[in-house]
Structure 1
Amino acid sequence: MKNFIEVIIRTQPFLPELISGLACMFTTITGIEERENEIVCFFTEFSDEDLDYLRKLLENLKKESLIERFEIYIETIEQRNWNEEWEKSIQPIKVTDRIVIKPSFREYIPQNDEIIITIDPKMSFGTGFHQSTRIMIRLIERNIKPDIKVLDVGTGTGILAIVCAKLGASKIVTCDNDEFVQDNVLENFEKNNCKDKCSFVYGTIDEITENDFDLILANIQKNVLIEIAEKIKAKSKPDGIIILSGLLLEDEKEICEKYSSLKFKLIETAIEDEWLGLVFRNM
């Protein structure tokens, strides 16, 4: 049986929603469990670099006087679906005036012209609860055009691809290198009646053979966004739009410098709490 890495985070004061949000930014996370005075996160892999990044995120909370101190404990454990109980607590969330995200096991009656997106996260990231996901959805809504071709890098549950399909995109290609994603994302495409528009490729952006995307989405942590910047450039059509998040406010300078060096022009920013979204145009 495959082993997982258990990372326990304790903070004073205990801020479970904030700490869970930080943990969700790691691409190898498979589940989160809230216990008394601690958040327990489960990872397929958790490197020394990941630990350093987690410490940096928590140190930032100290600098902002949101927490006084923190503790991190790491242990190797046997596989289990740690998300099962957490999923049961998910409620519908209104992300914008038009877009509502809900799990399949919750009823929601749409009002006026609301767009209802049904997402069951299983072991994937992207439910609408994290600030960066909400930022991405708002920026997509403001920047999408009808009948465009979209690439969603690190799709997770497929939520951003589904939003694009509902808002009029004609073709959305998605990819993710998380082994738990494929069945979940295809199931979510089916539930939202957009499997004719949305496709999934298991792997990274390197496995995407198409180019000339009108819109590219990437809600991934800063280090990955910097690493794949040239590849995003190669996939973007001239005058194409890219929307990036998974970023903290302090990441803006480094990301802007990298993407500006590739002839992307920053045209819009969005902020929620300490999280940042950036929109660039390929010049």
Structure 2
Amino acid sequence: HEKTKMEFEIVIEPKMSFGTGHHETTHLMIKHLLELDLTAKSVLDMGTGTGILAIFAEMKGAYPIDAIDIDEWCYINTLENIEKNNCKNIKAYQGDASMLNDQRYDIIIANINRNILLNDMDTYNRCLNIGGKLLLSGFYTQDIPFIETRTKELGLSIAKTYTKNNWVGIQLNK
């Protein structure tokens, strides 16, 4: 039997958090992240869940990384998973987009839901460096027009869109 070559291995203890890596939206975000050079890029992971995408970003060379979730279970779980994966460049916080002030990022990952994304896209855009990438997921194909309208209002451009089982992962460029 043939062994499969795995470049990245992440150990996740999901407990009560969202983000084992098996959900379509997590898969779509990983697909986008695999294609990006994250070396020395600053990353924000909003709605981090278990911290899986922040951990993956660190494995791909990103630093510094902020991982934020509004849910206390997720925040605690992220801290545990950061430790389990020996990550050194991730800071976890409990909160939402209102915590973001003067921070600047090269890559922002937000895998949440349509209404929160639409509400917070302006904040993400303000925190995104010129030439930066905003990765959004957590919404359905029928939500794409709402996201596209907001994207145009903010002067961002759609670079890539992936779908899986009616879920969407989209990359916007600044």
Q: For the superposition of Structure 1 and Structure 2, which TM-score range results when normalised by the shorter chain? A: over 0.9
Residue 258 of structure 1: aligned partner: 150
Name the structure where strand makes up a greater proportion of residues. 1
2:38–2:57 CA contact under 8 A, matched in 1: no
2:136–2:170 CA contact under 8 A, matched in 1: yes
1:225 to 100, 117, 141: 117
TM normalised by structure 2 equals 0.94
1:144–1:164 CA contact under 8 A, matched in 2: no
Report which stretch shifted further, 226-235 or 208-217: 208-217
Residue 21 of structure 2: aligned partner: 128
Q: Return the alpha-carbon distance in structure 1 between the equivalents of residues 23 and 5 of structure 2.
A: 25
1:201–1:208 CA contact under 8 A, matched in 2: no
1:201–1:207 CA contact under 8 A, matched in 2: no
Are 2:86 and 1:193 equivalent residues in the alignment?
yes
Unaligned residue ranges in structure 2 (runs of 5+): none
Q: CA deviation at 1:210?
A: 4.5
Residue 139 of structure 2: aligned partner: 247
Quick one: which amino acid aligns to residue 272 of structure 1? Answer: K
Q: CA deviation at 1:129?
A: 1.5
Q: Which runs of 4+ in 1 moved over 4 A?
A: none
1:235 to 113, 127, 142: 127
Residue 55 of structure 2: aligned partner: 162
Name the structure where helix makes up a greater proportion of residues. 2
2:160 to 268, 271, 276: 268
Q: CA deviation at 1:114?
A: 2.1
Q: CA deviation at 1:111?
A: 4.5
Residue 143 of structure 1: aligned partner: 36
Are 2:11 and 1:118 equivalent residues in the alignment?
yes
Quick one: which amino acid aligns to residue 240 of structure 1? Answer: G
Q: Return the alpha-carbon distance in structure 2 between the equivalents of residues 211 and 237 of structure 1.
A: 10
Q: CA deviation at 1:149?
A: 0.2
Unaligned residue ranges in structure 1 (runs of 5+): 1-109
2:110–2:136 CA contact under 8 A, matched in 1: yes
Q: In the TM superposition, what whole-angstrom CA distance separates every residue of 1:71-100 from its partner, at most 9, and x where no partner exists? A: xxxxxxxxxxxxxxxxxxxxxxxxxxxxxx
Q: Return the alpha-carbon distance in structure 1 between the equivalents of residues 101 and 13 of structure 2.
A: 28
Q: Return the alpha-carbon distance in structure 2 between the equivalents of residues 120 and 113 of structure 1.
A: 19
Within-5 A mapping of 1:1-283: 111-194=4-87, 196-282=88-174
TM normalised by structure 1 equals 0.59
Q: Return the alpha-carbon distance in structure 2 between the equivalents of residues 166 and 212 of structure 1.
A: 21
1:157–1:184 CA contact under 8 A, matched in 2: yes
Cα pair distance change 1:116/1:210, threshold 3 Å: farther
2:100–2:123 CA contact under 8 A, matched in 1: no
Q: Which has the higher contact order (CA 8 A, sep 6+)?
A: 2
Q: Bigger radius of gyration, 1 or 2?
A: 1
Q: Return the alpha-carbon distance in structure 1 between the equivalents of residues 64 and 139 of structure 2.
A: 26
